[in-house]
Amino acid sequence: MAQAEKVLKPRIYGNMPAVFLRKDGRFEIKLQITGGMLTPQQVQRVGEVASMYGSQVHLTMRQEVSILGVPEEHLEKALAELKEVGLRPGSAGMVFRNVVSCLGATYCFKAAAETITLAREIGNRFTGEKTPGPLKVGIGGCPFPCTRPQFNEIGLMGRVRPKIDLEKCTGCGKCVEVCKVGATKIVDGKAVIDYNKCVMCGRCVAVCPEAAKYSAEKGFIVFVGGRGSWPPHEGWTLCDMVPREEIMPLIERILQVYRDGAKPGMRMREFINSLGFEEFKRRVMG
Ligand code: SF4
Ligand code: SF4
Ligand code: SF4
């Protein structure tokens, strides 16, 4: 008679939700990689640990790195070797998750804001903290974001409000060429901005050879209550220009309102719907 197949059930290792059993009977170690940034030494160590104890390496949608195929008896050694280079299991379940970010102003010519330091600051402060439902943060350095921050529980999108110094403007038209939304044009030899169309990407500021266009204001749009999984929803716009230095206190307040009012398991979108967005905003913004 054929022997009954052993049925595997999902389980985590110890108290680490990001180290868990997979259907191949071995463990996955999902590492926290804030903003998707790794040092060369960390990349090397991931390869070494995967070669020694695991099978494959997977890049997740949320910029984490997963080592697959680790037998349970090798988990401790694998985790210790990863820890030596600052890599630790990340976030899963009802917690503040790994922070996703684009490269931002440090590397991207199109950026309106720095993002990597901000992602690390948020990740170091909040990732792993218990929340009523899974809480995901996405950061994009401009209003045409590669990282889709609108579809996260908290989304941040860098912006620059441009202004023109007409004395300096030569009417060269370079700012008109880069504007993707037709918000700037030349009138009587000088640039003008249509603020009803302008999405505040700051690209016209970056290309102006005369420094005639300048940043009158810099900051972030903050979205809340977005979600990427089915059914996908874009978040509400909580604020349309928050200065960098006010982002951390604002996240603290969003978290406090969410924790104070949401039932266990309630995602932020459902919580905001249950209150009404205006009431949620009132509680957060005071
Ligand atoms: S989101 Fe914007 S700033 Fe960030 S990498 Fe993409 S284009 Fe550059
Ligand atoms: S790029 Fe600068 S100088 Fe040229 S038209 Fe625009 S604002 Fe004027
Ligand atoms: S900041 Fe506004 S006007 Fe300038 S390029 Fe971007 S959308 Fe156009």
Structure confidence by residue, pLDDT tens digits, 175-187: 999 999 999 999 9
Give residue ranges with CB within 6 A of ligand 1.
Answer: 102-104, 108, 110-111, 140-142, 144-147
CATH number listed for the domain at residues 12-83? 3.90.480.10
Q: Does ligand 3 come within 6 angstroms of the Cβ of 169?
A: no
Residue 5 has pLDDT above 90, yes or no: no
- What backbone phi and psi angles, to 5 degrees, belong to 184? -135, 145
Q: Does ligand 3 come within 6 angstroms of the Cβ of 206?
A: no
- Nearest listed ligand to the Cα of residue 101: 1
Q: Considering the chain, tell me which residue range(s) the CATH 3.30.413.10 domain(s) occupy.
A: 100-160+218-285
Listed in sequence order, the residues at least 6 apart from 273 whose beta carbon sits closer than 8 Å to its beta carbon are: 225
pLDDT of residue 3: 61
Q: How far is the CA of 189 from the centre of ligand 3 (A)?
A: 18
Average pLDDT of span 251-258:
98
Q: Does ligand 2 come within 6 angstroms of the Cβ of 95?
A: no
Mean pLDDT over each residue of the chain, to the nearest integer: 95
Q: How far is the CA of 139 from the centre of ligand 1 (A)?
A: 9
CATH assignment of 100-160+218-285, among 3.30.413.10, 3.40.50.10300, 3.40.50.720, 3.40.50.10210: 3.30.413.10
Identify the band that residue 229 occupies on the pLDDT scale cut at 50, 70 and 90. Answer: confident
Question: pTM here?
Answer: 0.93
Q: How far is the CA of 145 from the centre of ligand 2 (A)?
A: 25
Residue 1 has pLDDT above 70, yes or no: no
Share of the chain above pLDDT 90, in %: 93
Dist. CA 35–CA 58, nearest whole Å? 16
- Looking at the CA of residue 158, tell me the nearest atom of ligand 1: 3
Residue nearest to atom 8 of ligand 3 (CA): 179
